[in-house]
Amino acid sequence: MSSRRPDPLAQVSDFDIRLLRIFRSVVECGGFSAAETVLGIGRSAISQQMSDLEQRLGLRLCQRGRAGFSLTEEGREVYQSALQLLSALESFRTEVNGLHQHLRGELIIGLTDNLVTLPHMRITHALAQLKERGPDVQIQIRMIAPNEVEQGVLDGRLHVGVVPQASALSGLEYQPLYSERSLLYCAIGHPLFYVDDKQLDDQRLNSQDAIAPTFRLPADIQAHYQALNCTASASDREGMAFLILTGRYIGYLPDHYASLWVQQGRLRALKAGTRFYDLSLASVTRKGRRPHLVLESFLESLAATR
């Protein structure tokens, strides 16, 4: 007789799918504690359900303890397989929903940080219209760096994203939304904060410690940073704001994002008449994507608010 161990996962139940969704969230959040807010359940409950999944699969998926959270080799493979399974389930649900022409399902959207302060926030209006048309639609917003937004759309983790428009990546489609103006700022406590613009020549400005973004930008905008003495970097605009507010760096921020600090007297723009750039923001979707009624409805609403 064969002593081969029976397959621990002879069939995939609804319970298994629920555990895999929790597992996906834990991995994407980087651990149990960080996933508590996203999942709306406590760490002990998450730990128990991860133990249930490991027992169900007969595999050790992750290491947790004082050294922090990390996936095992088996855990990485299960995560990739789970992404494929959950994506296939969502595609099936979307296609069936499309037969009924009733909006159900989910929209996962990745956004560059600090767009909500734009006066003409079209994303907000489009999401409101989507929710009105499909009350049962589940919306997930992920605030991540622009490079991660594009990668997330490419690999299917995101349905749509909004990013600064640089050179187009192969496999993605871009639709311009609006532009925002960025000015060069310093904070109170910086040596230039009380210096009149007339006394600020380019040499003095360009010699100050400055911040550069690590996300992709058009070549003409990169030139603004190349002129500065960039000794620090940040993956997003909030990180740049943190450094500027130390009073030790100068850097570019969108004027709508900086306006509250300007009103409070904590920031000032340096030579606003010449030290600025306008950056276009665009929605990004994957080329050749499968029909997705929720996504198409959102994109229609986004286009209608122009």
Which residue(s) pair with 71 in the sheet? 62
- CA distances (Å), origin 100, targets 9, 36, 95, 107, 290: 33, 35, 9, 18, 17
Tell me the per-residue pLDDT of 78-115, one tens digit each, with 9 for 90 and over. 999 989 988 888 887 777 666 555 677 889 999 876 66
For residue 243, name the pLDDT band (cuts at 50, 70, 90): very high
For residue 2, name the pLDDT band (cuts at 50, 70, 90): very low
Cα separation of 50 and 58, whole Å?
Answer: 12
As given in the structure block, the two tokens for residue 284 are: 């990004």
Over 70: is that where the pLDDT of 8 sits? no
Residue with tokens 């229609």: 300
pTM score over 0.75:
no
| Per-residue model confidence (pLDDT) at position 144 | 83
- Average pLDDT (114-132) is 76
Tell me the per-residue pLDDT of 137-171, one tens digit each, with 9 for 90 and over. 899 998 888 888 888 999 889 999 988 887 788 89
| Per-residue model confidence (pLDDT) at position 115 | 66
Q: Which residue has the higher pLDDT, 273 or 145?
A: 273
Tell me the per-residue pLDDT of 34-76, one tens digit each, with 9 for 90 and over. 888 888 888 888 889 889 888 888 888 888 777 778 888 998 9
| Per-residue model confidence (pLDDT) at position 29 | 87
For the chain, state the CA radius of gyration.
23
pLDDT > 90: percent of the chain = 36
CB neighbour list of residue 89: distance below 8 Å, 6 or more residues apart: 17
Q: Which residue has the higher pLDDT, 288 or 7?
A: 288
Cα separation of 166 and 91, whole Å?
Answer: 30
| Per-residue model confidence (pLDDT) at position 212 | 95
Sign of the four-CA dihedral 122, 164, 174, 292: negative
Over 90: is that where the pLDDT of 3 sits? no
CB neighbour list of residue 152: distance below 8 Å, 6 or more residues apart: 110, 142, 144, 158, 161
Strand pairing report for 62-63 and 209-213:
unpaired
Tell me the per-residue pLDDT of 180-224, one tens digit each, with 9 for 90 and over. 899 999 999 999 999 999 999 999 999 999 999 988 888 899 999
